[in-house]
Amino acid sequence: MSFLDLANKRYSVRNYKSTPVARKTMNRCIEAARLAPSACNSQPWKFIVVDDTELLKKLSRAAFEGILKFNHFAFDAPALVLIVSERQKAFAKIAGRVKRKNFSQMDIAIAAEHFCLQAAEEGLGTCMLGWFNETMVRKTLSIPRLKRVELIISVGFSADDTIPDKNRKSIDEILTYNKYR
C-alpha cells in the first residue's frame, strides 16, 4: 500500500476485539518505533508492552479509573504499550534548553507514530493516550519515581473494520509557501 493509504488507514481506535496480539507482531511494531529518528540519536525511550490479562486489568484500573472517565475504552484493549522517557544525550538536552524545545518529547512522538503506522500495516488499531494517572501507572509497573511515562498506546484489532472519514482542514487552510499568511 502507498504511504498515503497507510496514513489514511491509521486512526484512533476506541473499540477493540478481545483477540490477543501476537508478540512477533508487537515486536515488529516496536522495531518500527526503534528505527525512528531522534535528536542527536538519543533514542530517549523505553517501551513496556503489557499483554498479561490480569496485569492489563490492574493497569487499566490504575491508569483510567477515577472521577473523569477519559480513555475508559482502553480497558478492552488486549495490549497497552507505555513509552517511558529515558536520558537524552547531553548535547540534545543542552540544545533543547537553549532553544526552549523539548526534543525528547518530539522524539517520543515520532517513535509513537512509527509504532502506530506499523500497527496499522499489521491490521491493528491503536490510540495514543496522554490522560492517565501516571503515579498509579508507575506504581503498578514498578517504574522508578524519577522516570516519566509520556504515553500509553492501546493496541488491538478494531471491533469495526470501517475506516472512519477523517475530518481535516483543507490543504489551503494549512499550507503556505515561502511566508506565513
User: At 38, which CATH number?
Assistant: 3.40.109.10
Q: pTM for the whole thing? A: 0.92
Task: Give 181's pLDDT tier (boundaries 50, 70, 90).
Answer: confident
Tell the residue number behind the cell numbers 478492552, with chain if given.
76
Say which residues have a Cβ less than 8 Å from residue 107's Cβ, sequence separation at least 6.
36, 37, 38, 39, 42, 43, 44, 45
Does the residue 171 lie in any domain? no
Task: Give 177's pLDDT tier (boundaries 50, 70, 90).
Answer: very high
Q: What mean pLDDT comes out for the span 104-121?
A: 96
Q: What mean pLDDT comes out for the span 158-176?
A: 94
Does the residue 14 lie in any domain? yes
Per-residue pLDDT of 65-90, as tens digits, reads 875 677 889 999 999 999 998 876 66
Domain containing 40 equals 3-160
Does the residue 53 lie in any domain? yes
